[in-house]
Amino acid sequence: MSVLVGKKAPSFTAQAVLNGNNIESSFSLSQFEGQKYVVLFFYPKDFTFVCPTELHAFQEKLAEFEKRDTVVIGVSTDTEFSHWGWLQVEKNQGGIKGVTYPLVADTNKTISENYDVLVGEYVGQNEDGHLEVEGELIAYRGLFLIDKEGIVQHQLVNNLPLGRNVDEVLRIIDALQHFEQHGEVCPANWTAGSDAMKPSHESTSEYLSNN
């Protein structure tokens, strides 16, 4: 598993569904660089069980992300048409109607591969010359916090059965923004409004900024 923290987030341009209805043919991550923080999260499949709980949970807290100048983007290896169809299904029927943030279609699996969250992999050809795959070519529950400079500041990857905590994502954004604004580092279990810590010397602050 690659560690992308401290590195430039892999860029992409792909099909996406915006505002729960509109299909965008060239949705790009780079449009937010210099403008917004980005929470980019991957989920395994449309029309499943844990996934809609996560997608709705992000939607329910979308205003909190917006207060933090942060864009939420979901990605799976389904097509844009699958995303669109799922968005038309009511929540009480297992759908995600009401989700308005972008859902990206990683149909060719390259985004998931570049973020190293792809479950399966191509293992070569068998004795008959046919291509073989080990595992499903779907995404783990990966999540990446990308700052305004396009640098990954936080990553989390859960296995398929394990849903994420959206409040924890907000806490991490608060911690990053507190450090950026005040130069104070945030100890374990820190929450916004709690005491942070002054670095012991200037080199600590410089190290954290560059790493």
Domains and CATH numbers, the chain: 13-163 (3.40.30.10), 165-211 (no CATH)
Calculate mean pLDDT across residues 186-195.
Answer: 81
In whole angstroms, what is the distance from residue 201 CA to residue 111 CA?
Answer: 39
Calculate mean pLDDT across residues 140-151.
Answer: 98
- pLDDT tens for 81-133 read 999 999 999 999 999 999 999 999 999 999 999 999 999 887 787 877 787 87
Q: Rounding to the nearest 10 degrees, give the CA dihedral for residues 184, 58, 70, 206.
A: 30
Please check the confidence at residue 208 and state whether its pLDDT lies above 80.
Answer: no
Residue 43 near residue 141, CB atoms below 8 Å:
yes
The pLDDT score that the predictor gives to residue 202 is 53
Give the highest mean pLDDT range of 52-61, 189-198, 199-208. Answer: 52-61
Q: Which residues contact 33 (CB under 8 A, 6 or more apart)?
A: 148, 149, 150
In whole angstroms, what is the distance from residue 111 CA to residue 56 CA?
Answer: 23
Instruction: Reply yes or no on whether 51 is catalytic.
Output: yes
Residue from 4, 14, 51, 55 carrying the catalytic annotation: 51
Q: What is the average pLDDT value for the chain, to the nearest integer?
A: 92
